[in-house]
């Protein structure tokens, strides 16, 4: 993970030691590698104790920052242990256990997804079959006749054909009973047979077949509808099970990702044969500038009362923790203490909401948990491909189905309206390429105020920690 202060310097060149270095490169990643950050204020604290680890330092600062510096977020949390340490082996075993459990759940998810796909294919096939039964009941004579002929053909091919040489098709082909087949296809019920000009021999042959067909038509329709509903219920349970497994999967994937160690192969603090651990933690505290209240408090000009602030501005304090310690097992439950050297740096910045969004986006791109996000979406991505089919068959209300389809059409992206949107102004003052627009006069004054508050807060956190732990601390004028 890159130094967060360097990322901030590339986003806002005012916090870069040499802003011209950023303009020399096109890609943000390249700029991060060469830029040197220059925060508004910076303090450093080195705490070395063979018995006390980083935890007391971290939690004291976390609690104090939460109470005084605004909202606090943990944006970096990495660790590395040397292969020669017991800590490495124990965490490796835990990670393997999490991975194995996750893979078992993923295997079950894949089976359920396959089952859902098969159910959808079955439902589609049965729905086509049921449409023929609905067509028979249609008020349109042509549609009703076509539906009845389709069912008769299906009965001849699926039921009557099992009679072998005595089936209608076999008799029509082998024994010249073509007239019987035609009469069967023409008749709507048993009474129609007497109305057709046929000899008694053919009538005696066709009447029982018509009777048998009508019985089959009613029973088969009932069975298809029953099986269709049962299959829909089964698919609903499978989808619910899939969501349940997906919810169970995420904690194991998250734990496995969090147990991944950082890559510090060339760091001289790590020697494979030694028992050493490194920790990297970064906290970002941000406090929004209350534009209206600052005018009332006379921290901003009274003339700004008629102005409007288009973007939010924040005073930010970045606290980096770097700890090098020796893991020592303190209990049989696998608890370790990490006495050693802790370096804490305090840095002050002032950022607007667009700059913070860009910072968060960059941190997400570099986050090791990207693998987790991809893996956790296994079920979601698979279901997305068949989402429409699932929603269609699980929705019981036909009217609601029609409304959903209508809404989908209304929400379709219009390519022409999308084209015209290019010429619209961005309310958040950020263009389509993500280039942040420079501050207006009002915004520059608000940023100056945010910078002053960030500097004061940064020194206050540093100063209060030292005084609380009986360390000498110079007055703020010393740093001015």
Is the residue at 414 inside a domain?
Answer: yes
Token pair for 167: 């089936």
Identify whether residues 76 and 143 lie together within a single domain: no
Q: Which of 220, 237, 252 is the last residue of a domain?
A: 252
User: Is it the case that residue 2 has pLDDT exceeding 90?
Assistant: no
User: Is it the case that residue 175 has pLDDT exceeding 70?
Assistant: no
Provide the percentage of residues in the chain whose pLDDT is more than 90. Answer: 18
User: Is it the case that residue 173 has pLDDT exceeding 80?
Assistant: no
pLDDT at 471: 85
Identify whether residues 328 and 390 lie together within a single domain: yes
Is the residue at 10 inside a domain?
Answer: no
- What does the pLDDT look like over 82-112, one tens digit per residue? 665 656 666 777 778 888 888 888 888 888 8
User: Is it the case that residue 427 has pLDDT exceeding 90?
Assistant: no
Instruction: Give residue 65's Cα distance to chain centre.
Output: 30
- What global pTM score does this model have? 0.57
Residue 420 — pLDDT band, cuts 50, 70, 90? very low
Question: Which of 16-30, 159-173, 194-208, 364-378 is predicted least confidently?
Answer: 364-378
Q: Residue 412 is part of which domain span?
A: 39-82+276-479
Structurally, the chain folds into a number of domains equal to 2
41-49: strand order across its sheet: 41-49, 336-352, 313-329, 277-288, 71-81
pLDDT at 433: 43
Contact (CB, 8 A) for 53 and 337: yes
Is the residue at 20 inside a domain?
Answer: no
User: Is it the case that residue 371 has pLDDT exceeding 60?
Assistant: no
- Residue 6, C-beta contacts closer than 8 angstroms, at least 6 positions apart: 32, 35, 36, 37
CA nearest neighbour of 378 among 196, 189, 109: 109
- Partnered with residue 316 across adjacent β-strands are 286, 349
Identify whether residues 224 and 340 lie together within a single domain: no
Identify whether residues 335 and 464 lie together within a single domain: yes
Q: Which of 188, 219, 252 is the last residue of a domain?
A: 252
Q: Which of 236, 252, 268 is the last residue of a domain?
A: 252
Contact (CB, 8 A) for 337 and 474: no
Encode burial over 448-465: b for 16+ CB neighbours within 10 A, e otherwise.
ebbbebbbebbbbbbbeb
Q: Per mean pLDDT, which of 66-75, 205-214, 398-407 is the most reliable?
A: 66-75
Residue 42 — pLDDT band, cuts 50, 70, 90? very high
Distances (CA, A) of 464 to 12, 201, 289, 456, 459: 29, 111, 23, 12, 8
CA nearest neighbour of 345 among 261, 465, 447, 471: 465
CB atoms within 10 A of CB 476: 14
Identify whether residues 72 and 134 lie together within a single domain: no
Is the residue at 357 inside a domain?
Answer: yes
Is the residue at 11 inside a domain?
Answer: no
Between 365 and 208, the higher pLDDT residue: 208
- What does the pLDDT look like over 347-361, one tens digit per residue? 999 999 999 999 988
- Residue 288, C-beta contacts closer than 8 angstroms, at least 6 positions apart: 70, 312, 313, 314
Instruction: Give residue 325's Cα distance to chain centre.
Output: 36
Residue 272 — pLDDT band, cuts 50, 70, 90? low
Identify whether residues 186 and 60 lie together within a single domain: no
Instruction: Give residue 284's Cα distance to chain centre.
Output: 24
Separation of alpha carbons 22 and 91, rounded Å: 40
Q: How large is the average pLDDT for residues 5-30?
A: 82
Residue 402 — pLDDT band, cuts 50, 70, 90? low
Identify whether residues 240 and 314 lie together within a single domain: no
Identify whether residues 322 and 464 lie together within a single domain: yes
Identify whether residues 107 and 191 lie together within a single domain: yes
Q: How large is the average pLDDT for residues 116-123?
A: 88
Identify whether residues 204 and 296 lie together within a single domain: no
Identify whether residues 231 and 283 lie together within a single domain: no
Is the residue at 16 inside a domain?
Answer: no
Question: Which of 227-241, 256-270, 407-421 is predicted least confidently?
Answer: 407-421
pLDDT at 89: 63
Q: How large is the average pLDDT for residues 37-51?
A: 86
Listing DSSP states for 402-416 in one string gives HHHHHHHHHTSPPHH
Is the residue at 258 inside a domain?
Answer: no
Residue 333 — pLDDT band, cuts 50, 70, 90? low
Identify whether residues 420 and 347 lie together within a single domain: yes
Q: Per mean pLDDT, which of 177-181, 195-199, 266-270, 318-322 is the most reliable?
A: 318-322
Separation of alpha carbons 80 and 22, rounded Å: 31
Average pLDDT, the chain: 78
Contact (CB, 8 A) for 80 and 268: no
Is the residue at 51 inside a domain?
Answer: yes
CB atoms within 10 A of CB 131: 11
């Amino acid at each position: 993970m890159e130094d967060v202060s360097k990322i901030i310097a590339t986003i806002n060149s005012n916090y870069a030691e040499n802003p011209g270095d950023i303009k020399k490169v096109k890609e943000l990643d390249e700029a991060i590698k060469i830029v040197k950050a220059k925060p508004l204020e910076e303090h450093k604290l080195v705490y070395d104790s063979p018995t006390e680890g980083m935890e007391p330092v971290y939690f004291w600062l976390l609690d104090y920052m939460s109470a005084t510096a605004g909202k606090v977020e943990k944006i970096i949390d990495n660790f590395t242990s040397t292969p020669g340490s017991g800590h490495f082996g124990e965490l490796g075993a835990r990670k393997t256990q999490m991975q194995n459990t996750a893979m078992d759940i993923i295997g079950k998810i894949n089976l359920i997804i396959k089952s859902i796909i098969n159910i959808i294919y079955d439902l589609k096939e049965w729905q086509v079959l049921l449409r023929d039964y609905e067509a028979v009941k249609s008020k349109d004579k042509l549609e009703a006749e076509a539906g009845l002929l389709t069912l008769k053909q299906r009965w001849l091919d699926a039921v009557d054909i099992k009679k072998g040489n005595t089936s209608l098709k076999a008799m029509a082909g082998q024994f010249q009973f073509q007239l019987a087949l035609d009469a069967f296809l023409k008749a709507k019920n048993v009474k129609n047979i007497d109305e057709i000009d046929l000899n008694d021999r053919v009538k005696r042959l066709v009447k029982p077949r018509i009777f048998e067909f009508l019985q089959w038509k009613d029973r088969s329709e009932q069975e298809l509808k029953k099986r269709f509903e049962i299959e829909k219920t089964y698919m609903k349970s499978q989808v619910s099970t899939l969501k349940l497994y997906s919810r169970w999967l995420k904690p194991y994937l998250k734990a496995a990702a969090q147990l991944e160690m950082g890559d510090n192969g060339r760091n001289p603090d790590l020697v494979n044969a030694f028992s050493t651990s490194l920790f990297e933690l970064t906290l970002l505290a941000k406090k929004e500038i209350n534009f209206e209240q600052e005018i009332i408090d006379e921290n901003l000009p009274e003339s700004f009362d008629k102005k409007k602030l288009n973007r939010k501005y924040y005073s930010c304090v970045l606290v980096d923790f770097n700890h090098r310690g020796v893991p020592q097992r303190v209990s049989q439950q696998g608890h370790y203490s990490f006495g050693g050297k802790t370096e804490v740096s305090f840095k002050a910045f002032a950022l607007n909401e667009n700059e913070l969004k860009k910072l968060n986006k960059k941190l997400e791109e570099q986050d090791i948990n990207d693998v987790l996000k991809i893996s956790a979406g296994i079920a979601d991505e698979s279901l997305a491909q068949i989402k429409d089919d699932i929603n269609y068959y699980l929705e019981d209300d036909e009217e609601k189905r029609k409304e959903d389809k209508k809404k989908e059409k209304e929400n379709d992206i219009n390519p022409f309206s999308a084209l015209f949107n290019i010429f619209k102004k961005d309310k958040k003052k950020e263009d389509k390429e993500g280039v942040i627009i420079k501050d207006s006069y009002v915004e520059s004054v608000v940023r100056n105020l945010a910078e002053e508050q960030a500097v004061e807060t940064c020194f206050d956190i540093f100063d209060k920690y030292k005084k609380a732990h009986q360390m000498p601390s110079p007055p703020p004028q010393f740093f001015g």
